[in-house]
Structures are given as structure tokens and as C-alpha cells.
């Protein structure tokens, strides 16, 4: 690993690990949950809110920022950290997932992908080299190799997309020029253990500073997801961080850490907040529900976040009914705090060697509502 990045494992409990990933913008304690700031903003929150809930690593989306305002403009304005006023570590994805899920695909070939912008229909082309050039302009600490997400149940397509992902990962390694960014490779292969095994072996052989598992949480069952994580993590090197992309409910964090995952990200906490839903230690709450109209209780009695320390369920329900913007902010603060805090509790439990008892107790409580 280059002098700018290092990963130190502090303790483990079974396959669960507690560590530190060091980057030019600070240390990332792992396991960690990273809030998603798609458009260089975590929706409805200021950086001050994010500091208050102890956010550390933030994710931003290459596809969106390339289309608007443009990666060259962000580079001209001093890079993403300065542009969005986030001094701590940032991770950018490669744009692959959004090109395949949002962009109207014109053509996929071995060289790259031609797609139409979801904003104005204009034609664009991403290649591995282009995805790296954009991410170098954005300037995040962790950048991702350009990958192709397949239909997870289509074996022939999953194999083809996996092979292309491997070829593209090698080209990303060649294209990268900045030393202050860590490139992570991505394992693909749909729901097929044999493909995932081959993919993990290939991506591990690139000896990158970290490795990711892509193409999960896209419609497969939890059992299938857990099997794939186990197959892949049995192969990925122990001494590099492992990032499970786009996965992040409280249950997913516990189940992922139990199988050796270190980094998570997900839009779910802020997306749920805009749809009136909150995580609690006893499951999910719909705060728009009439039963909360007279409730003086906070969202979660055990939670130490700003929202739970100051506001009742009745007040938040009123904001939702009156369509006030503050409801999304208050629920987002709570939902993100809950996941960030859970990752920290998990980390502490691993360090104290009691994660194996913490995990089943927490999972049981989550299913209680
Ligand atoms: Zn709270």
C-alpha cells in the first residue's frame, strides 16, 4: 500500500474485524457506515449536521457530478472536499452502477458504455479510463474501478459482465495517475458462488489497497446475499478493507460485519427520511401514521441524536402533515446517527470481544416491533 494509505487491524471477534484505514483526509475507523451525498450533498443536511452525528466517510456519485456541474468545474474550484466543504474522507463510485440503472444504455462493448443522460438525453460515453479521469478531477480519497452490473439471476450475462469488469479493473489500474487516491477493485458475478469465487480471486490478485463487493442488494434474497459475502470474503485478503456497496439497514450492518465486511454505504437512511420512515432499535416506524399524533415520545428512547433529544413523534408527524422541509432533516439526522452509532457500537463490541453476543441480541430486538 502507498505511503498515503494504510489499513491496520486492531482486533477481531470471529470473522468480524475492527480496524483503521488511514487516508490523506484522516483516519476511517472500521466498521463504518458512510452516508451518501449523491450530488455532493447528503440530502437535507449541512456538513455541520454531519459533523454532529460523527459522520466520517461520505460517498459522492461520479455519474451525477460528471453530468452536473461537471468534474472539470469541480476540479477548477479546488476539488470535491473544498467544493462541498467536507474536510474528512470522501469516496466516489465509478459511475458504473448509475450508467446501468439510470442512463438510457445505447451500447455496451468491451471498450466502454455509451449512454444517454437522464437529465437532457445527451449522449455520453464512459470507459474505464474516463471513469478514472473524472474521479481524479473530483479528488476523493477512495475511488472505484469501473464495473458492469449484470442481471443478478442471468448466469451467462453475469459471467460476461464479470469478465468485462476484470478487464476494466486492469485498465483502471493502468489509467490511474494520482498517488493521493486509493483505487478499490469490485467483485461481480451475480448470485452465482462459482462466478463470485473467480471474481474475488482475480480482483484480489490486482493487489489494490481495498476491495469491494458490487452487484448486491439488487433484488436477491438476504440468504443469497449472505452466501455471496461468505464466498467472496473467504478469498479477499484479510489485510485490506472490504467494502459492501449500496447495502445499509441496521440488520445488513450486523450481518455484513459478522461475515467480515468493514465499509458500508446506502441511500436508504435519507431516502426513508423523505418518506416519513425512521429506523429504531425495535424496527422501522412510519412517523406519518395517525397513532403518533399525541405521542410525546422521541423516535427512539435510547437514541442520543439531536432529533431524539429535542423533538417528539407528535411534532415530527405534524411537520410531515404540514409538508414542512424540517421533517426530512430531523428524520435524516436520526436515521444516519442510528447507523453511524451502530457501526461504532459494533466496533467497540469487536474490540471487547463480545460482538458474538451483541449481534444476536441486537438482531432479535430489531425484529420486535
Ligand atoms: Zn435519534
The per-residue pLDDT for range 184-228, each reduced to its tens digit, is 999 999 999 999 999 999 999 999 999 999 999 999 999 999 999
| CA 146 to centroid of ligand 1, rounded, Å | 36
User: Alpha carbon 204 to chain centroid distance?
Assistant: 20
- The predicted model scores a pTM of 0.97
Phi and psi torsions of 332, nearest 5°: -65, -45
Q: Is 93 a catalytic residue?
A: yes
Give the contacts of 171 (CB within 8 A, at least 6 positions apart): 127, 128, 129, 146
Label residue 1 by pLDDT band (50, 70, 90): low
* Average of per-residue pLDDT across 67-75: 98
Annotated catalytic residue, options 13, 252, 262, 265:
265
Look-up: residue for cell 484480489?
A: 204
DSSP label at residue 128:
H
pLDDT category of residue 369 using cuts at 50, 70 and 90: low
* pLDDT for residue 150 is more than 80: yes
Spacing, Cα 310 to ligand 1 middle (Å): 9
Inform me whether the pLDDT recorded for 104 exceeds 90. Answer: no
pLDDT band at 2 (very low <50, low <70, confident <90, very high): confident
Q: How far apart, in whole angstroms, are the C-alpha atoms of residue 94 and residue 106? A: 19
C-alpha Rg value of the chain to the nearest Å: 20
3-state DSSP assignment of residue 168: helix
Active-site residue flag, 109: no
Burial 22-51 (b: 16+ CB within 10 A, else e): bbebeebbbbbbbbbbbebebbbbebebbe
CB 185 within 8 A of CB 207: no
Whole-number Å distance, alpha carbon 50 to ligand 1 midpoint, is 14
- Among the listed residues 13, 71, 93, 147, the single catalytic one is 93
Q: Kindly report which listed range (66-75, 110-119, 202-211, 221-230) carries the lowest average pLDDT score.
A: 110-119
Measured in angstroms, how far is the CA atom of residue 199 from the centroid of ligand 1?
40
Amino acid at each position: 500500500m502507498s505511503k498515503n494509505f494504510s489499513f491496520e487491524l486492531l482486533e477481531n471477534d470471529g470473522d468480524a474485524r475492527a480496524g483503521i484505514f488511514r487516508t490523506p483526509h484522516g483516519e476511517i475507523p472500521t466498521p463504518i457506515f458512510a452516508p451518501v451525498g449523491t450530488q455532493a450533498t447528503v440530502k437535507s443536511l449541512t456538513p455541520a449536521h454531519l459533523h454532529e452525528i460523527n459522520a466520517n466517510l461520505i460517498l459522492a456519485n461520479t455519474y451525477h457530478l460528471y453530468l452536473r456541474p461537471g468534474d472539470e468545474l469541480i476540479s477548477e474550484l479546488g476539488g470535491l472536499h473544498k467544493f462541498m466543504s467536507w474536510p474528512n474522507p470522501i469516496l466516489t463510485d465509478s459511475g458504473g452502477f448509475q450508467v446501468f440503472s439510470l442512463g438510457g444504455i445505447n451500447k455496451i462493448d468491451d471498450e466502454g458504455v455509451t449512454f444517454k443522460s437522464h437529465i437532457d438525453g445527451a449522449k455520453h460515453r464512459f470507459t474505464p479510463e474516463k471513469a478514472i479521469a473524472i474521479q481524479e478531477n473530483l479528488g476523493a480519497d477512495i475511488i472505484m474501478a469501473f464495473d458492469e452490473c449484470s442481471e443478478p439471476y442471468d448466469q451467462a450475462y453475469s459471467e460476461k459482465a464479470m469478465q468485462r469488469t476484470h478487464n476494466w479493473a486492469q485498465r483502471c489500474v493502468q489509467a490511474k495517475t494520482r498517488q493521493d487516491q486509493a483505487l478499490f477493485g469490485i467483485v461481480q458475478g451475480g448470485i452465482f458462488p462459482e462466478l463470485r469465487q473467480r471474481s474475488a480471486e482475480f480482483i484480489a490478485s490486482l493487489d489494490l489497497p481495498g476491495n469491494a463487493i458490487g452487484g448486491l442488494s439488487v433484488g436477491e434474497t438476504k440468504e443469497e446475499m449472505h452466501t455471496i459475502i461468505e464466498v467472496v470474503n473467504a478469498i479477499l485478503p484479510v489485510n485490506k478493507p472490504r467494502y459492501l456497496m449500496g447495502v445499509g439497514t441496521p440488520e445488513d450492518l450486523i450481518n455484513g460485519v459478522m461475515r467480515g465486511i468493514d465499509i458500508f454505504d446506502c441511500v436508504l437512511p435519507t431516502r426513508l427520511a423523505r418518506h416519513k420512515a425512521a429506523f429504531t432499535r425495535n424496527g422501522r416506524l412510519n412517523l406519518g401514521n395517525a397513532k403518533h399524533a399525541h405521542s410525546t415520545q422521541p423516535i427512539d428512547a435510547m437514541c442520543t441524536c439531536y432529533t431524539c433529544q429535542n423533538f417528539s413523534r407528535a411534532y415530527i408527524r405534524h411537520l410531515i402533515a404540514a409538508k414542512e422541509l424540517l421533517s426530512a432533516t430531523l428524520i435524516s439526522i436520526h436515521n444516519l446517527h442510528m447507523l453511524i452509532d451502530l457501526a461504532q457500537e459494533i466496533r467497540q463490541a469487536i474490540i471487547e470481544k463480545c460482538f458474538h453476543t451483541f449481534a444476536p441480541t441486537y438482531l432479535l430486538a430489531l425484529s420486535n416491533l
